[in-house]
Chain A
C-alpha cells in the first residue's frame, strides 16, 4: 500500500457540505441507521481468533493496537457529552459517534489481542499509560463544544483517509474492520464539517470559539502523519498505510471546509507527540484512572 493512489480513487468531500448527508452521498452510510446483519462484529473477530482462523502477525497486532487505542480514548472522551450536549440532537449525535468509535476500538483491540492471547478488555483495562499507543490528539480534553468539534473535524478527516485505504489491506481482518468503519466515519466527517460551518459563520462568539478550538487542537495534527519503522514495514507488505501518504488528501479536504467557513488553517507550532511509542500527555492518566477503576477493583471478574 505504498502507493494508495493506484488502489483508490481520489477522495472527495461531501459535495455541497452545507447540505450534508441527506442531500448528497450515500444515505446508507449514516451511523444512525442499523448496520446490516452481516457486518463484522468484535465477537466475530474474537471467534475467528479463538478458533485459530486468524492470527495477526506481531507487526499487524502493534498496528491494530494503535488504531484501537485512538478510537477507544476518543470514545471515552466523547461519551462524556451524553447528557451534557448543547441540544438533545447532539446528545444523540455525539453518542452515536462515540459508539461508532468504541465499536472500531473493540474490533481492532480484539484482533490485536489475538497475537498475545489477550481479550479486548485485557487490553483496555489492564494496560498502563506507557503501554497505550494512541496519538495525543485523541486524549485532548473536550473543552467547549467548539474544541470537541475541532478535534472531531481533524479525527474524522484523518480516519476517513486512513480507513478508505485500509479497505485494500492485504490483511483481510484489517480490511474488513476498515470497510465497516469507513462508512461510519464518513458520517462523522459530515457532522463535524457542518458544525465547523455553523460555528464559524454563526455568531461573533461562536466564530471566536471555533477559531480558538482549532488553534487548541492543531498542534496535535502533525503526529497523525508521522511514519515510523512499523508503518514502513507494514506498508511495504501492503498490510497498512504510511501515515504521511494521507497528508495531501487530508490537507486538501479540510482546507476546502475551512475555506468555506472563511477560516485560516491554524499556524501553530507542532507538538512532538510520541503516543505511538507510549509517551503521552498528562491527560491520559486521568482518562485511564476513571475508565479502569471498576475493572481493576475486581480482577478476573466477568461482567
Chain B
C-alpha cells in the first residue's frame, strides 16, 4: 500500500511527460508479452498489467487464507490423537500449514499488499478461502481423509503452479508441494492403518472417505463452462490446466489408491472414458458448493470466528512486540549516535 503514502502530484503532467509515461507503459506491456510468449517469469519489480496483479493478489491471498483456516479442522484433533506418534505427526502437519500461510502472505506482499490488510479482509469476511475447510472434521479418520483427499487434490492443483509465471508464487509453491506430498502420504497411511484395523476403525475410515470425496472433487472449482476467470489465468501462464482436466486426473489417481486402501469411493459412476482418454465421475452438487461459498456452509461462521478471536486476543501481544522493537531501535540509534 505504498502508493497511499505518495504525495499528491502537484500539477498535471505536461504533454511530453504524458507521452513518456505512455511510452513506458507500452514498453512494459511489450516486455510482459514477451515473457508470456517465452513462458518465462515476471518478478516483483517488473511492469505488469493491473489486472494480472489483481488476479494474482486475489489467488495468492486466498491460497494463504486457505492454509490458515485449514489449520482449524486438523488442530481440532491434536489433543485427542490416539497415539503419541500420530499426535506428533499431526502437530507437525498443522504447523507446516502455518508456514505455508507465511510463505504465501509474503509472496502476496511482493504485489503491494500488506499481510495486515489481507488478514483484516479475511476476518471481515471480505476475502475467500477454500470452501473445503467449512466442513467439520468429525472423527479421527477425517485426519486421514483430509490428508489423502484434500491434500491430494491440493497437490494436483498446486504442482502446475510451481511453473506459474509470477516468480515468488512459483517458488513458494515448490516448497509447499514438497510438504503437501508428505501430508498426503501421512493421510493415506492413517486410512490404511484404520482400514486394516478393527471393524469399527474400518467403518470410521469409509465414513470419512464418503464425506470428503465430493467436497474434495469440488476443490478444483466449477466446471470449465462455468469458470469465468480460468481462461485469462491460463493465458497469463498462472493456471496451466483447466478445472475439469485436473479433476479428471485426480479421480484417476484416487481410483488406484482406494483399492490399495481396501475402501471404496462413494461414486458408482467413476469410469475411464476410452474415447476421451479421461476419467469421469458422477454428478457433483454445485448448488451445495455455491451455498458454502456464499457463507452458508456447516462451519463458515465457526472458522471465521475462531480466526477473529485469535487475532483479537493477540492484539495486545503484537502491540507489545512492536512497541518493544521501536524502543530497542531507538536505543541502538542513540548508542550509535553517541559513538
A95 at the A/B interface (Cβ < 8 Å)? yes
Q: In this complex, what residue of B is CB-closest to A103?
A: B88
Q: How large is the interface on B (under 10, 10 to 19, 20 to 34, 35 or more residues)?
A: 35 or more
| Contact between A303 and B86, CB atoms less than 8 A apart | yes
| Contact between A206 and B95, CB atoms less than 8 A apart | no
| Contact between B79 and A76, CB atoms less than 8 A apart | yes
A82 at the A/B interface (Cβ < 8 Å)? yes
| Contact between A206 and B102, CB atoms less than 8 A apart | no
| Contact between B79 and A303, CB atoms less than 8 A apart | no
| Contact between A84 and B91, CB atoms less than 8 A apart | no
| Contact between A84 and B83, CB atoms less than 8 A apart | no
Interface residues of B in 195-225 (CB under 8 A from A): 197-198, 200-201
Interface residues of A in 53-83 (CB under 8 A from B): 72, 75-76, 79-80, 82-83
Contact residue among A75, A86, A91, A109 (Cβ-Cβ distance under 8 Å from B98): A91
> Quick one: CB contact mask for A41-52 with B, threshold 8 Å, 1 for yes?
010000000000
B335 at the A/B interface (Cβ < 8 Å)? no
With A and B bound together, what is the CA distance between A109 and B323 in angstroms? 42
| Contact between B99 and A92, CB atoms less than 8 A apart | yes
B321 at the A/B interface (Cβ < 8 Å)? yes
Residues of chain A within 8 A (CB-CB) of B315 are 86
Q: In this complex, what residue of A is CB-closest to B75?
A: A83
With A and B bound together, what is the CA distance between A99 and B323 in angstroms? 30
Q: A85-B314, A106-B84 known; A91 and B140 CB under 8 Å?
A: no
Q: In this complex, what residue of B is CB-closest to A43?
A: B85
A202 at the A/B interface (Cβ < 8 Å)? yes
Closest Cβ–Cβ distance, residue B96 to chain A (whole Å): 9
| Contact between B80 and A202, CB atoms less than 8 A apart | no
A301 at the A/B interface (Cβ < 8 Å)? yes
Looking at the complex, which of A132-140, A193-201, A223-231 is the stretch in contact with chain B? A193-201
Residues of chain A within 8 A (CB-CB) of B193 are 302-303
The interface on chain A, measured as residues whose beta carbon lies within 8 A of the other chain's beta carbons, has a size of 51
Residues of chain B within 8 A (CB-CB) of A86 are 310, 313-315, 317-318
Q: A84-B310, A99-B91, A295-B83 known; A198 and B78 CB under 8 Å?
A: no
Closest Cβ–Cβ distance, residue B120 to chain A (whole Å): 14
Q: In this complex, what residue of B is CB-closest to A295?
A: B82
Looking at the complex, which of A2-10, A179-187, A249-257, A286-294 is the stretch in contact with chain B? A286-294
Interface residues of B in 292-339 (CB under 8 A from A): 306, 309-310, 313-325, 327-328
Of A42, A124, A202, A295, most buried by chain B (CB within 10 Å of CB) is A202
B101 at the A/B interface (Cβ < 8 Å)? yes
| Contact between A206 and B320, CB atoms less than 8 A apart | yes
| Contact between B83 and A87, CB atoms less than 8 A apart | no
| Contact between B98 and A95, CB atoms less than 8 A apart | yes
Residues of chain A within 8 A (CB-CB) of B197 are 301-303
> Quick one: CB contact mask for A90-111 with B, threshold 8 Å, 1 for yes?
1110011011001101100100
Interface residues of A in 240-265 (CB under 8 A from B): none
| Contact between B198 and A99, CB atoms less than 8 A apart | no
By secondary structure, the B interface counts as helix
| Contact between B84 and A102, CB atoms less than 8 A apart | yes
By secondary structure, the A interface counts as helix
Contact residue among A18, A79, A88, A144 (Cβ-Cβ distance under 8 Å from B68): A88
Contact residue among B80, B190, B306, B314 (Cβ-Cβ distance under 8 Å from A294): B80
Of B95, B194, B315, most buried by chain A (CB within 10 Å of CB) is B95
With A and B bound together, what is the CA distance between A95 and B316 in angstroms? 21
| Contact between A102 and B324, CB atoms less than 8 A apart | no
With A and B bound together, what is the CA distance between A18 and B99 in angstroms? 24
A121 at the A/B interface (Cβ < 8 Å)? yes
| Contact between B313 and A144, CB atoms less than 8 A apart | yes
A209 at the A/B interface (Cβ < 8 Å)? yes
> Quick one: CB contact mask for B68-94 with A, threshold 8 Å, 1 for yes?
100110010011111111111001101
Residues of chain A within 8 A (CB-CB) of B87 are 75, 79, 102
| Contact between B82 and A298, CB atoms less than 8 A apart | yes
Closest Cβ–Cβ distance, residue A181 to chain B (whole Å): 15
A38 at the A/B interface (Cβ < 8 Å)? no
Closest Cβ–Cβ distance, residue A299 to chain B (whole Å): 10
Residues of chain A within 8 A (CB-CB) of B105 are 88
Residues of chain B within 8 A (CB-CB) of A161 are none
Contact residue among A106, A144, A197 (Cβ-Cβ distance under 8 Å from B88): A106
With A and B bound together, what is the CA distance between A55 and B99 in angstroms? 40
Contact residue among A124, A205, A209 (Cβ-Cβ distance under 8 Å from B84): A124
| Contact between B82 and A80, CB atoms less than 8 A apart | no
| Contact between B140 and A294, CB atoms less than 8 A apart | yes
| Contact between A298 and B317, CB atoms less than 8 A apart | no
With A and B bound together, what is the CA distance between A290 and B321 in angstroms? 33
Residues of chain A within 8 A (CB-CB) of B140 are 294, 303
Provide a sorted-by-A list of 16 A–B residue pairs whose CB atoms are within 8 angstroms.
A79-B79, A82-B78, A82-B94, A82-B98, A84-B309, A84-B313, A88-B102, A99-B88, A102-B87, A106-B88, A205-B320, A206-B316, A294-B140, A295-B83, A301-B197, A301-B200
